[in-house]
Amino acid sequence: MALLALPLFVSLGTSSIWDSNEAFYVQTPREMVEHGDWIVPRFNGQPRLNKPPLSYWLVAAAYSAFGVSVFWERLLLALLAYASVWAVFLSGRILVSERAALLAAVLFATTFRFQILARRLLIDILLLFCILAALTAFLYWWKRRRDSGLILAALFLGLGVLAKGPVILLPALILAVFTFLSVSSEQWRQAPWARSLLVFCLVSSSWYLLLGFTQGWESVFDFLWKENLGRFTHVDFGPQRGLQYYPLVFLADYLPWSILLLGALAGGWSARHYPDRNLSILLALWLGIFLVFFSLSHNKQEYYILPVYPVASLWLAAYLDRETLPGWSRWLICGILIAATASLTLLAYSLFRDVAGWWLPLLFLAGVAMAVAGSRIRLAAWTLSLFYAVAFHVYLQPLEEYRPVRQLAEIIRSRTPSADPVTAGYYRLSTPSLAYYLNSPVLELGTPQQALEALRAPRPVYLIMAAEDYTELKREMGPTLKIEGVRPKLYTTASTLVEGWKLGRLDTRPEAWTRPVYLVSNQGG
């Protein structure tokens, strides 16, 4: 299990803040500490009531004890992620066997989506830990008949409400249905339901009651209706996606193990694979209800189904503990891994060829392919864990060359006298980490009118924007608009990669994989 910690804990303080979500979980706790208000979270100087505060409280406590640093948020992320891996192991040991439990933990810990989120999305890793801890405690009660297990499960479910809201009721519903289907009438009568419900209610309602009494109940209603129920029913928080979205996400984000799971499905389920019928019921309920519920949700994000991967790993490990997978699934994984190795070789050579040992992680990835070809799934999983650890160690530091915000924030600081307030922000390019690096409220501008109004102010104003948006504003501002700095930014999404391919720009030159990001000011002549 110690080997599984390597990818999670290596190079924690190396990279700058990921602007997709992480910025909120390093800056909001800082403002919480500075304002002395632990009830109303704030980001960029404004109340941020779209998420409960448990993740903020944990980071703020670390800041209060050790000082403000991204390292403490990253360490907390790693600890929660590693604890989640242990929860999978403990659940598997209760449900199947220690051998299968270890395999399940390794499969889950080396899942692509889990590794990515464990470095940038504290709130969902915290929620995942609460869910898996509740599952483990529940299984302890179900299998060992210890009342403390059910009470502890209620505690973790209550903490889950403080982590991300009422979405925790989904795993609670699954465990309730499973209890109804599998628990004997005697165990049902003897269970400490009243104490468990009391613990859940006291923990889960604590912040909402404090918020209601101090800020008014309208804020609580808005949180529950718009940010939670509305997110799943009618309020738009991003692009709309069809019913096929999560099956495709699961197939891609659970790689390479999703192919093995397809092979196991093709091999059929029988009593010899799962001698405990209750195990099949629990895992089928978990996978089915999660996927159906979120597939019917109005808003869909890939990380919503993160709790599916550990349970899929338990199911697959129980199968692999007794069966050999069909050859086609292993060779399909080999093909995918070979293609991934070739693509990563091109990318790594283009961006990091001057870095010592840039090729080393690719050897481990090739080793994963060879282990799978030889039907040595356990060896493949352990080797994949080493690949992640070595890749993070080798690539994260040089990757900073292509992550512009921290460097552009330093330019703003160098241009601004220490006694003067900073007026800076971003235009059509979401970089919320700027608020952390400047430690002051920043402008968040989305229209040309807003940008022009800000830039025409009599005081110095600095904006981060894409090169094409600078060209548009330059026509209106003329020589007043000045470029203060230019930094490369990687194509980081499928759409921008396709854009690069269409332009014929993706080759072995570093600039071919990037687009320029400008820092501009209104200080031109």
Where do the domains of the chain lie? 2-237, 327-401, 403-521
Q: What are the average pLDDT values for consecutive 10-residue runs of the chain, which has 525 residues?
A: 90 86 94 93 90 95 95 96 97 89 94 92 95 95 87 96 91 91 82 92 94 86 76 66 86 87 68 62 87 85 90 88 75 87 85 88 91 86 93 92 93 83 91 94 93 91 92 89 91 57 56 83 83
Number of H helices, E strands in the chain: 25, 7
* CA 270 vs CA 135, 330, 509: distances in Å: 24, 21, 53
436/169 Cα distance (integer angstroms): 33
pLDDT of residue 508: 61
DSSP E strand stretches across 35-153:
42-43, 46-47
pLDDT of residue 266: 66
Residue 224: name the closest of 209, 214, 213, 239 by CA. 209
Dihedral in degrees, nearest 10, Cα atoms 218, 222, 224, 227: -160
One-letter identity of residue 169: L
321 SS3 class: coil
Q: Could you say which DSSP state residue 121 is in?
A: -
Give the torsion sign (CA, 313, 314, 319, 322): positive
Residue 300: name the closest of 248, 366, 350 by CA. 248
pLDDT of residue 271: 46
Angle subtended by helix axes 122-144 and 22-35, to nearest 10: 90
Tokens for 330? 């292993």
pLDDT of residue 404: 93
* CA 437 vs CA 57, 76, 398, 424, 489: distances in Å: 20, 20, 20, 11, 18
DSSP E strand stretches across 428-501:
443-445, 462-466, 482-490
354/398 Cα distance (integer angstroms): 9
171 preceded by a cis bond (ω within 30 of 0): no
255/249 Cα distance (integer angstroms): 10
In Å, the largest CA–CA distance within the chain is: 84
* CA 123 vs CA 160, 164, 176, 331, 491: distances in Å: 10, 7, 25, 37, 25
